[in-house]
Structure 1
Amino acid sequence: MSKEVQIPFSEPSWLMGLPSAYYNDSHRKWQKTCRALVDELLMPNAHEWEMQGDVPPNLFSKFAAANFLIPNLPAPLPVAWLHKLHIPTLPGGLAIEDFDYMHTLIYVDEMARTGSSGPPGAVTTGMAFGVPPILKFGSQELQERFVPDLLTGRKRICIAITEPGAGSDVGNIQTTAERTEDGKSFLVNGMKKWITNGIWSDYASMAVRTGGPGPSGLSMLVVPLLNTPGVTMRRIKVGGQTSAGTTLITLEDVLVPVANLIGAEGAGMRYIMQNFNHERLTICISVNRLARVALSSALEYCMRREAFGKTLVEQPVVRHRLAKCGAQLEAHWAWMEQFTYSMTVLSEADANRELGGLTALAKAQAGSVLEVCASTAVLLFGGNGYTKGGQGAVAEKIFREIPGARIPGGSEDVMLDLAIRQLVKNFRAKTAELEKSRSRAVKL
């Protein structure tokens, strides 16, 4: 039995002792491994680092040394590459071949227990979203040049899509990559903004315009950053995840070999959209945990804080607020479990087709759940929830994460629209295919 009774809503139901069909012994062992490492590497100092706006320079190397960056990659893991690099297992002895998206869910959820997107994001975001395009779409030669250093943490990378004038509207990207006269290189010019981890990154998997206007003119390119002529980077101060290294990147005639092209020229939009699915799913999971930390902290506070002669939790209006938040939180988490389980069963092609729109919808819903839970936590903490420090600091901190949940990775309104468009597209395609099959049957 557990040595202590857990606060309601403080853990997902499967960690509160309730049965679940989604998790096997491998997942349960992995959860214990992740919790121990997060408790060691992040939890003791995460709040202080976020308050200071930075993490120690050696935090990334500690994660790399423990092979605790690898779980950021989409499942299945790049098994051939990891064996080639003599990484047959993850922490706790988990075989890389056994890693699935339920392991991803556990890893991301445990990392977010810090109650901030900052310290976890400082070490994970680049690996999670910058490496996959190279692994999925890059040539073998491109992978040979970059993958070994990136998977072992000797070098760092970020994903660079967003620009001052093009965020969720990816097709409007203006950064250009024009071929030099000898045809061997690109000259890259433009700006990338709000790039997480950019300030520390040796490279960026960057969206650039190699062709005409619109999505068909986009490509992806591995662009060198640190110590590269023509590249200027500076930190951007943002409201939440202040320690994650949000960066403005300016590129002026940056010379990049044509051999750094990821996949086919002009196919960048497809690569970007597929990469977004992994990003949005991990955002959903981490944001749900932030909401959980806020709500359970507020509930714990309400059980001991007295006002008007009794504890806050004895006030009907307080219980009503907590109940409404809890219902939304747990419903979203149940969706995430079912959603993630589907990822372990479906092929990548089927998952991209069937779950792409739903991923966008789940990401939008995650932001709404965080908003109601964090806002309620601040109200219930009262003045303490408005204070950067003390017993309500966790609520104040998580409240500042709300815009970071609703905007990056695809802003909320765009996600809602994308979800319905994708669902309608799938419906029409399946209806047309069904009509064709019926027509063929009649002819036979």
Structure 2
Amino acid sequence: MSTIYFTEEHLLFRQSLKDFLQKEVVPHVEEWERTGTIDRFIWKKFGEMGYFGLATPEAYGGLGLDIFYTVILLEELQKINSGGFAAAIWAHAYLAMTHLNKEANDDIKERYLTPSVDGEKIGCLCITEPFGGSDVASMRTTAIKKEDKYILNGSKTFITNGVYADYMIVAAKTDMELGNKGISIFVVDRKSKGVTANKLNKLGWRASDTAELAFDNVEVPLKNLMGKENMGFSYIMEHFSLERLIMGVNAHARAEYALDYALQYMSEREAFGKTIDKFQALRHRVVDLHADIEMCKQYNYYVAGRLDKGEYVVKEATISKLKSTKMADEVAYECLQFLGGYGYIEDYPMARLLRDSRLGPIGGGTSEILREIIAKIIIDKKEYRPAAD
């Protein structure tokens, strides 16, 4: 049955994806969570199914589909209870590949985008730095032009796919005098001399690799510049809308999964002669959580619809991430409580879900930074605009 956002084709895609994830991914999740390494074969399978090319034009091997196919992919990835695996997939497809789709020339697209769609190359996006955090403009990494190349020096941290990626989309300052107006974007091969990676040990997202990267006099060919020199900050800000919406969608889907699981448990767990879903105190808490999820979900769909039409939704996407990730944390906390002692046991899904959810208000811009961005828009009347062509 179609809805205002999803057609029959969308619903068929969702069911096919569910079946794929249950068959090809779920049997391996526990191993990947334990080892922190996702086997390479699954990337190729995702590529064969077209899942990496949903937003990529057909000219480069993609499907060129509307954003609600992406929404479905994100939602279903959250419902296999491995935030790390989900992050590895969407960080490749919607962080690294978004820059390839938007800023790369035909040569770079042929070398990196098409293999990314096929699952033959894995990408990561390198913006955050050890001393900068959410303050992109303060980055210290430099790319100094020297004859026929740029010399890249600096470091990045909290980079999803940073250890096992085949290429990196790297932001660096090409003009130190211009501040945030002197940042450029490059595609850098992971095997380049001078690139080193240190894998970080995280509270959650255990299946994914998260790295601190160092660049020591790395030579980057001039042809690997993405878009225009010194336009990188505008590109980054523009694509933050998609990243923040992604994290908002992840949050509502994660919360939905948590509440569904808790309700199933509550319908089976008995206390004082009846199942615990019959106790009014718990029933009313469930209602509040359901209402919060539904409000965030419908708002996120609204923002996705506007983004799909090409609108610049920096405020709306920032609100999406701010409110949805806070809601998801609260839902995970309450659902763990519904399970009582079993919620605290690793054999049940809620403990991992609680840990994975906690990254939501941190990654892609902390909630504190997001509030300041929104404050600038609604109080200071600041206008954010897309990068000029």
> The TM-score by the shorter chain falls in which range?
over 0.9
Q: Secondary structure at the match of 1:158?
A: strand
Distance 1:403 1:186 in 2: 38
Aligned pair partner of 2:187 in 222, 231, 241: 222
Question: Structure 1: which amino acid aligns with 2:257?
Answer: V
2:36 corresponds in structure 1 to 53
Deviation per CA, 1:36-68: give whole Å up to 9, x if none: 222222223324422443322322122123222
Shift of 1:189: 1.0
2:219 corresponds in structure 1 to 255
1:440 corresponds in structure 2 to none
Deviation per CA, 1:211-265: give whole Å up to 9, x if none: 125211211111222x321111121111111111111111111111122111111
Greater Cα offset, 165-174 or 131-140: 131-140
**Residue-pair matches, total:** 383
Q: Secondary structure at the match of 2:140?
A: coil
**Contact preservation (8 Å) 1:127, 1:158:** no
Distance 1:313 1:143 in 2: 53
**Closer, same or farther in 2 for the Cα pair 1:424/1:101, shift >3 Å?**
farther
CA RMSD of aligned residues (A): 2.0
1:379 corresponds in structure 2 to 337
2:111 corresponds in structure 1 to 145
**Closer, same or farther in 2 for the Cα pair 1:48/1:142, shift >3 Å?**
closer
1:69 corresponds in structure 2 to 52
Determine whether 1:108 maps to 2:108.
no
**Contact preservation (8 Å) 1:357, 1:423:** no
**Contact preservation (8 Å) 1:210, 1:219:** yes
**Contact preservation (8 Å) 1:177, 1:210:** yes
Shift of 1:426: 6.6
Shift of 1:428: 7.8
2:158 corresponds in structure 1 to 194
Q: Secondary structure at the match of 2:249?
A: helix
**Contact preservation (8 Å) 2:197, 2:211:** yes
Aligned pair partner of 1:235 in 175, 199, 206: 199
Determine whether 1:25 maps to 2:8.
yes
Deviation per CA, 1:268-288: give whole Å up to 9, x if none: 101111121121112111221
Distance 2:106 2:43 in 1: 27
Deviation per CA, 1:95-115: give whole Å up to 9, x if none: x35x11122111211121112
Distance 2:32 2:252 in 1: 22
Distance 1:197 1:427 in 2: 34
**Contact preservation (8 Å) 2:247, 2:325:** no
Unaligned runs of 5+ in 2: 385-389
Percent identity between matched residues is: 26
Shift of 1:165: 1.1
**Contact preservation (8 Å) 1:47, 1:114:** no
Deviation per CA, 1:138-167: give whole Å up to 9, x if none: 233333433332222222211111111112
**Closer, same or farther in 2 for the Cα pair 1:142/1:48, shift >3 Å?**
closer
Determine whether 1:154 maps to 2:120.
yes
**Closer, same or farther in 2 for the Cα pair 1:189/1:428, shift >3 Å?**
closer
Distance 2:374 2:322 in 1: 9
**Closer, same or farther in 2 for the Cα pair 1:49/1:29, shift >3 Å?**
same
**Closer, same or farther in 2 for the Cα pair 1:428/1:363, shift >3 Å?**
closer
1:388 corresponds in structure 2 to 346
1:320 corresponds in structure 2 to 284
Distance 2:117 2:240 in 1: 20
Q: Secondary structure at the match of 2:290?
A: helix
Question: Structure 2: which amino acid aligns with 1:401?
Answer: D
**Contact preservation (8 Å) 1:207, 1:218:** yes
Name the TM-score, length of structure 2 as normaliser: 0.92
Distance 1:61 1:79 in 2: 18
Shift of 1:423: 4.6
1:291 corresponds in structure 2 to 255
Distance 2:47 2:105 in 1: 25
> Could you say which structure has the larger radius of gyration?
1
Deviation per CA, 1:169-201: give whole Å up to 9, x if none: 111111111122xx2111111111110011111
**Contact preservation (8 Å) 2:74, 2:90:** no
**Contact preservation (8 Å) 2:60, 2:109:** no
Shift of 1:312: 1.7
**Contact preservation (8 Å) 2:78, 2:254:** yes
Question: Structure 2: which amino acid aligns with 1:404?
Answer: L
**Contact preservation (8 Å) 1:63, 1:123:** no
Q: Secondary structure at the match of 1:401?
A: helix
- Superposed counterparts of 1:39-438, under 5 Å: 39-71=22-54, 73=55, 77-82=56-61, 96-97=63-64, 99-180=65-146, 183-212=147-176, 214-225=179-190, 227-344=191-308, 346=309, 348=310, 351-352=311-312, 355-389=313-347, 393-423=348-378
Q: Secondary structure at the match of 2:359?
A: helix
**Closer, same or farther in 2 for the Cα pair 1:292/1:51, shift >3 Å?**
farther
Distance 2:10 2:46 in 1: 20
Deviation per CA, 1:311-359: give whole Å up to 9, x if none: 2222222112211111101111111222222233x2x2xx12xx11110
**Closer, same or farther in 2 for the Cα pair 1:427/1:55, shift >3 Å?**
closer
Q: Secondary structure at the match of 1:250?
A: strand
Distance 1:229 1:80 in 2: 32
**Contact preservation (8 Å) 1:360, 1:419:** yes
**Closer, same or farther in 2 for the Cα pair 1:235/1:147, shift >3 Å?**
same
